[in-house]
Amino acid sequence: MKFIVCLKQVPDTMDVKVDPVTKRIVREGVPSILNPYDYYALEECLRLKERYGGSTVAISMGPPQAEAVLKEAISLGIDEAYLLSDMAFAGSDTLATSYTLAQAIRKIGDFSIILCGREAMDGSTGQVGPELAEHLEIPVITYVSKIINVNENQIECVRLLEDHYETLKSPIPVVITVIKEINEPRLPSLKGMLRAKKTQIPVWTKQDIGGNDLQYGQDGSPTKVVEIWRPEIKKEGKIVKGEPEELAEAIYQELKKLGVA
């Protein structure tokens, strides 16, 4: 079996900057980390190999600095990693991103389960996993909280819905997106960190993975951001003094003015 995990590097800051002309997130010069939800997908990928054997592969699409998250994956025990980096991929929305990942996965080939985090912290759409499955024409199971069993033909798992859990079976190959409940991510070992330091991460461009030029980057992105702004946060406070009964009445009157009492 071959287990593939898709990883994304995201800005390590709440003060995200946006280019006013292109409407894209500015990533250059901003500290970056592995998307928090992807840690759980990465851990589950490793656990699948430990339970059922086979091999593991990590892939990420992004600028050259995204190599760092793949090095981290190697340090945790991933066997192989590939970085998809090309100016042709710039400006990709979720549809173009999923197409690029799908082309790389086709090149890798012979996969059983593809794992993704439930969503990316910098977009929070949760669309890439399902769109990836659509491009590859295979099933998808979202919000997986537990993998019960996997064999050569089928996966059985539990997924979380709004108010209950459900147990599903699906033929493989399959794409799954996982939630934080599924596991507790491990820390890298010293041996793993040394291995990661020595590992050269192959970089694949558009020419390496082939496909339709019009489905990459901005050309393949039907989503257009027409306006973006920083919300204004207004904070104000009021000090109320007096005895407990007076305080309670004063607070009640203030809440009435705000329409919440």
- How many distinct structural domains can be found in the chain? 1
44: exposed, middle or buried (Cβ count in 10 Å: 0-12, 13-18, 19+): buried
Single pTM value for the model = 0.83
Answer yes or no: is pLDDT of 52 > 80.
Answer: yes
As a whole-number percent, the residues of the chain with pLDDT over 90 amount to 73
Mean pLDDT of the chain: 91
Q: Residue range 3-28: average pLDDT?
A: 76
The pLDDT of residue 60 is: 97
Q: Specify if 244 maps to a domain.
A: no
Q: Is residue 165 part of a domain?
A: yes
Residue 258 located in a structural domain: no
User: Per-residue confidence at 246, pLDDT binned at 50, 70, 90?
Assistant: confident
- Segment 181-229, tens digit of pLDDT: 999 999 999 999 999 999 999 999 999 999 999 999 999 999 877 777 6
Q: Looking at residue 234, what is its pLDDT?
A: 74
254 located within any domain: no
**In a domain? residue 34:** yes
Specify if 256 maps to a domain.
no
pLDDT at 26: 66
Find the mean pLDDT for residues 153-162: 95
Phi then psi for residue 148, to 5 deg, are -80, -50
Q: What is the pLDDT of residue 251?
A: 85
Which CATH number is 191's domain given? 3.40.50.620
Give residue 162's domain range.
Answer: 2-220
Q: What is the pLDDT of residues 71-128, one digit of tens each?
A: 999 999 999 999 999 999 998 999 999 999 999 999 999 999 999 999 998 888 999 9
| 23-37, 95-109, 217-231, 243-257: least confidently modelled range | 23-37
pLDDT in tens, 84-96: 999 999 989 999 9
| Amino acid residing at 127 | Q
164 occurs within a structural domain: yes
- pLDDT above 90: residue 235: no
Residue 24 confidence (pLDDT) above 80: no
Query: Is the residue at 252 inside a domain?
Result: no
Q: What pLDDT score was predicted for residue 148?
A: 97
